[in-house]
């Protein structure tokens, strides 16, 4: 049974951003003592992208058509709180994270929305999705399904919980990706491209550092979304023209050689830690000024010989004539011998927590509150708390006549104003009023803490929501609602296993009450 002095009281020791592109969304990763120590085993850094690197569990092999209702449930009706990427003015590129409700493991997924204009023909969209969905490789964030319902065109992929390569390279001021990890990233991307090419999918649209994702183990993986062209005619480049393959500027189409050119720009990103126009980089490479191009944050902690090899490979990839660029297998042949830390896990080199075991299967909630919590339906939770009012506060306070002071009247008036604001969905005002009630400290109310917790969630403040839910538990240790609110706050903080454990505890408490305890 959870308690107020549990692991959840510890402060987060790192803040990460998660995304599929350059939209920055914050979430907290809190180190937990229950870490699976068997996850230290590194993946092999070089095996030529063979089929033996297929996805790691049978669930990832499944490819299916999702219903729109399923995806709405997974994303709380495509709430803005679930957006992890939002770019593009001419062509919409919105990616949501979501959690499958009808899946045994409640998997997290990534969902990309296309406009109907991009794919006017549903059959063409479905056929293209099925083609990409056949790919299964450890170096790719695999496509696991699609949805084509009315005007909706959606792709569903494995969710990668850590940052994109671009965010690691360009946005984190206090962390530098070490040299060995940059070499590993280059090789893994080459292996991903080689695998896709070997399976008849050599085209990748707009390859750049934002398309390189990091999975739960910190291993680099290539987003499958770039394997789907953004329109029926294949014209899908969205980067600055300075980074676009020259042949694309001539005919507006992506070729396998165009992908190699884009790979060269990613190599430059890895070497320099910034986005450098290829023409400028080539001039410096020809002038043998490559050390000036190197990322200063590495502070000289790299091999000049290895850097020279990678710069030379980038130069080959960036050749003006497509036929002069290397093949994907040539990329692997060049990068494989450079791997110098094959036994060090990627998560260690990136400085991110080790991946835990998958979350246990949640018990089936037995109440509207439990069901709403398991679906992350904050609107339904709000309605339930409004209807329940203060029923669960009975007996928590016994006031004498002498204690009935003007201060008490003011405090209860603050709570009343908070209740009105809560009912009217003015959540910021409700937080202020409930805080006035709580700060006086004469009365304690688990319901007020639960209500303020929900207000914090609806204001995108999950850490504050978790603290309030824990306080509600302190006041009423056997109150299921306190556990439900902790579960949803933990889920918002991406602490999925802890969220599932807390949800299970809430279900047990609720069942116990229904068998003979006081009403819930």
**Catalytic residue (one of 163, 194, 206, 392):** 206
Cα–Cα distance between 279 and 259 in angstroms, integer?
A: 17
The yes-or-no answer on residue 206 being catalytic is yes
Cα–Cα distance between 250 and 244 in angstroms, integer?
A: 11
Residue 363, class by beta-carbon neighbours within 10 Å (0-12 exposed, 13-18 middle, 19+ buried)?
A: middle
**Spatial CB neighbours of 375, under 8 Å, sequence gap ≥ 6:** 73, 76, 101
Q: For Cα atoms 506, 395, 481, give the angle at the middle one, nearest 5 degrees.
A: 20
User: Which residue matches tokens 């939209």?
Assistant: 23
User: Which residue matches tokens 């207000």?
Assistant: 455
- The CB-side HSE value for 219 (13 A sphere, CA atoms) comes to 24
Give the tokens for residue 347. Answer: 């998560």
Q: Strand locations in 305-410, DSSP E?
A: none
Quick one: which of 236, 446, 215 has its CA closest to 345?
Answer: 215
- The answer to whether 97 and 109 have CB atoms below 8 angstroms apart is yes
Cα–Cα distance between 463 and 341 in angstroms, integer?
A: 37
Residue 452, class by beta-carbon neighbours within 10 Å (0-12 exposed, 13-18 middle, 19+ buried)?
A: buried
Q: For Cα atoms 138, 141, 144, give the angle at the middle one, nearest 5 degrees.
A: 105
Cα–Cα distance between 209 and 270 in angstroms, integer?
A: 9
Catalytic residue annotation: 206
């Amino acid at each position: 049974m959870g308690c107020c002095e549990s692991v959840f009281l510890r402060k987060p020791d790192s803040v990460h951003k998660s995304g599929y592109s350059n939209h920055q969304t914050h979430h907290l990763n809190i180190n937990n003592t229950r870490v699976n120590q068997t996850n230290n085993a590194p993946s092999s850094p070089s095996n030529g992208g063979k089929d033996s690197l297929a996805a790691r569990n049978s669930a990832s092999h499944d490819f299916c058509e999702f219903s729109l209702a399923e995806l709405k449930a997974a994303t709380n009706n495509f709430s803005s709180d679930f957006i992890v990427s939002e770019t593009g003015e001419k062509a919409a590129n919105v990616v949501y994270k979501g959690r499958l409700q009808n899946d045994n493991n409640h998997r997290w997924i990534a969902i990309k929305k296309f406009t109907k204009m991009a794919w006017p023909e549903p059959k063409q969209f479905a056929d293209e999705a099925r083609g990409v969905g056949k790919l299964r490789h450890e170096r790719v964030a695999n496509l696991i399904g699609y949805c084509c319902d009315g005007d909706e065109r959606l792709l569903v992929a494995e969710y990668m919980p850590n940052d994109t390569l671009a965010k690691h390279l360009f946005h984190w001021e206090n962390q530098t990706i070490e040299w060995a990890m940059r070499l590993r990233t280059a090789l893994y991307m080459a292996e991903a491209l080689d695998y896709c090419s070997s399976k008849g999918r050599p085209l990748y649209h707009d390859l750049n550092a934002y398309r390189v994702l990091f999975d739960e183990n910190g291993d680099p993986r290539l987003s499958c979304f770039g394997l789907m062209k953004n329109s029926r005619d294949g014209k899908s480049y969205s980067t600055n023209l300075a980074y676009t393959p020259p042949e694309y500027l001539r005919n507006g189409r992506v070729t396998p050689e165009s992908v190699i050119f884009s790979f060269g720009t990613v190599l430059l990103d890895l070497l320099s830690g910034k986005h450098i126009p290829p023409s400028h980089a080539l001039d410096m490479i020809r002038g043998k000024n490559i050390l000036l191009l190197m990322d200063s944050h590495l502070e000289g902690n790299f091999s000049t010989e290895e850097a020279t090899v990678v710069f030379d490979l980038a130069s080959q990839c960036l050749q003006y004539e497509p036929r002069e660029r290397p093949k994907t297998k040539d990329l692997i042949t060049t990068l494989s011998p450079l791997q110098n830390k094959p036994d060090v896990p990627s998560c260690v080199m990136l400085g991110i927590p080790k991946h835990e075991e998958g979350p246990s299967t949640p018990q089936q909630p037995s109440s509207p509150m439990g069901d709403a919590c398991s679906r992350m339906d904050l609107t339904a939770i709000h309605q339930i708390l409004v209807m329940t009012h203060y029923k669960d506060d009975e007996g928590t306070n016994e006031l004498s006549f002498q204690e009935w002071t003007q201060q008490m009247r003011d405090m209860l008036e603050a709570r009343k104003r908070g209740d009105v604001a809560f009912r009217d969905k003015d959540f910021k005002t409700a937080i202020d009023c409930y805080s006035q009630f709580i700060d006086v400290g004469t009365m304690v109310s688990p319901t007020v803490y639960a209500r303020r917790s929900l207000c914090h969630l609806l204001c995108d403040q999950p850490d504050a929501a978790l603290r309030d839910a824990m306080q509600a538990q302190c006041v009423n240790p056997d109150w299921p609602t306190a556990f439900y609110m902790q579960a949803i706050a933990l889920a918002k903080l991406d602490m999925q296993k802890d969220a599932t454990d807390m949800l299970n505890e809430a279900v047990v408490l609720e069942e116990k009450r229904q068998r003979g305890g006081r009403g819930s």
